[in-house]
Structure 1
Amino acid sequence: MSTHPTRRNFLTKSALGLAAASLAGRSLSAAHHKSGDHGHAHADTWFDISLAQWSLNKDFWSGKRDKMRFAEITKREFGVNAVEYVNQFYLEGFTQSVTKELKKVSDGEGVKNVLIMCDRCGRLGDPDANEQTAAVEAHIPWLEAAKTLGCHAIRVNAHSEKSESYGTQLDRTADGLRRLCEIGDDYGLHVIVEPHGGLSSNGAWLVALMDLVGHPRVGMLPDFGNYGSKREGWTYDIYRGTAQSMPYAKGVSAKTHHFDANGEESTVDFRRLMQIVKDAGFTGYVDIEYEGQDIDPDTGIKLTRDLLVKLGGRL
């Protein structure tokens, strides 16, 4: 076995050291939480912090961690008091009894349920009218679940047929999204769109979509890592996309991938992105969504959390 440190080992050891030092000097214990405040991980942050369940997706898919204890894990292991669920982990055998159990766990831990990220529900802009209606209706159980959990929103995908024109996809997706917003209004819930592939990763198209839907329940979940699509071979400036999206934001996804030895996100200008968020007057939930490969998810989550806390006190 080689005794030379690999890049992965170096980053892991550096990240672990930074996380430990940060926790020692800036404890996230209850003494540093705002009294009665669910999301703030530090008294000085101008936004609330939540944990996106996708950050631990490998553990939930493998069964290493219990998806039903997500709120407990978030509070006890990461010191975060708010969660954002991903419906994919609960699709098999889902009933509202599952929702009630999740609510019981979150209430027991004093954790705020923020939203449910909804995938595999069909395309809201499907060119087939029956398929489009089925996609709208497939979101209803998640609206019901979100209502029971006390969430403020569900996150949906604004997808259509990619082979069709920019304008055609816009019109069809706006129609399906508006219909879903009308149903969401009955539940008192927002329906928010995340840049998530196809034209939904184009900031200008998303703005046009918001304006065309024109419903008070519609909104966006800007994601620092989802503007443009490497898989589809095109780029979009993430700073421009974030700035375009913020006027419609009802949440923010602070996605991270890599950290340097100083605990800074090394793939994007994270400070600049958070400054854009602050300049927009946003004070809601910013979620931790770690998707990196160089270090383990637990460390990535803690480093993202600590970076948010730091910027929340300095910007």
Structure 2
Amino acid sequence: MSVKWEGIMPAITTKFNDDDTLDFNMFEINIKAQLDAGVHGIVLGGTLGEASTLLEEEKRSLTQVTVKMVEGKVPVMINIAEQSTKAAIKAANMAEEDGASGLMMLPPMRYKSSDRETVEYFKAVAKNTSLPIMVYNNPIDYKIEITNKMFDELLKFDNIEAVKESTRDVTNITRIKNRFGDRLKIMTGVDTIAFESLVLGADGWVAGLVCAFPEETVAIYELIKAGRIQDALEINRWFMPLLELDIVPELVQNIKLAEVYTGIGTENVRPPRLPLAGKKRKKVIKIIEDSLKTRPDLAKYKI
């Protein structure tokens, strides 16, 4: 299935049973909620998907099961976050075998590669897969920035098609558009500045709180696309306290707790992560409960 790098693509959380096995029953409930809300793609095994804790066979199972669940309605992407070029190529090949439509790809893990090494890493994978690639540019969390100068070289490969723009600098949207036009599609990757990024011309949003609030997230995108900026702004202002749960170290626990409140997830995380406790838990619960009390009636927006 071809990938249009646009719209809302949830960075899906990985669901676990109490015994730490993959919980495909709850996973399917969440995927159905995303599809019913009108998302435009599914991204597996990212930061929210607890990628660093997943075994190779679990990643493969997630991909295979998700492809069956979506039944061709939307493309399914799997994240590549590996320590070696060899492992990244292997992961890309397995994703293709398992039916993924595309790849989201981080720079090398652990080793802080130079610009030249980073470019060669992406190029090596691009040469060894036919799948389209979205480069995940998140120097805040992963300490390596893919600059526009580096993209000049990377875009010589036709299957490097998009960037998940997570630098936190919204002016990069304009810089990328000015430099590359539509050659490099932009998926904003930071929930708290997604509204601004979409208004400035980002093509879509790889979202986090969408895991718990798919309808509201899709509504913001659709309203902006329709030019109804004020309506989208109203929803975004309501959403902001929740969106801020995505930009802290405990984002996985926060969003999984929100999924519990909206009935499409559980709190189970894979150790060393643990569910929220104490003051942090009380604070997040208050944010979620207060937001649910004032949840917007999307029917009035007639999207």
1:194 and 2:164 aligned: yes
Alignment match, 1:117? 105
* Cα distance, 1:102–1:259 mapped onto 2, change above 3 Å: closer
Does structure 2 conserve the Cα–Cα contact (< 8 Å) formed by 1:157 and 1:193?
Answer: yes
Deviations 1:128-148 (A, max 9, x none): xx9322221121123234xx2
Give the TM-score, by structure 2 length.
0.52
Counterparts of 1:1-315 in structure 2, within 5 Å, are 41=35, 45=38, 48-54=40-46, 57-58=49-50, 61-63=53-55, 66-76=58-68, 81-88=74-81, 91=84, 94=87, 96-106=89-99, 112-120=100-108, 131-145=114-128, 148-151=129-132, 153-157=133-137, 159=139, 173-181=147-155, 185=156, 187-196=157-166, 200-211=167-178, 213-214=179-180, 217-223=183-189, 225=191, 227=193, 238-246=194-202, 249=203, 251-256=204-209, 259=212, 271-277=219-225, 279=227, 291=252, 292-294=255-257, 295=259, 299-300=264-265, 315=303
Matched-pair contact (CA < 8 Å) for 2:103–2:134: yes
**CA distance in structure 2 between the aligned counterparts of 1:122 and 1:21, rounded to whole angstroms:** 31
**Structure 2 residue ranges without an equivalent (≥5):** 1-24, 229-245, 267-297
The total of aligned residue pairs comes to 215
Distance 1:119 1:253, change over 3 A: same
Matched AA of 1:88: A
Offset of residue 203 of structure 1: 1.4
Structure 1 pair 20/226, CA: closer, same or farther in 2 (3 Å)? closer
Equivalent-residue separation in structure 1 for 2:119 and 2:148 (angstroms): 12
RMSD: 4.8
Whichever residue aligns with residue 119 of structure 1, its letter is: P
Structure 1, unpaired ranges of 5+: 1-15, 29-40, 107-111, 161-169, 228-237, 281-288, 302-309
Quote the Cα distance in structure 2 between the aligned partners of 1:22 and 1:116: 19
Once the 2 structures are TM-superposed, how far is the Cα of residue 114 of structure 1 from its aligned partner? 2.6
CA contact under 8 A between 2:187 and 2:205: conserved in structure 1?
yes
What is residue 167 of structure 1 aligned with on the other side?
Answer: none
CA distance in 1, matches of 2:122, 2:93: 18
CA 1:104/1:49 → structure 2, altered by over 3 Å: closer, same or farther?
Answer: same
SS at the partner of 1:299? coil
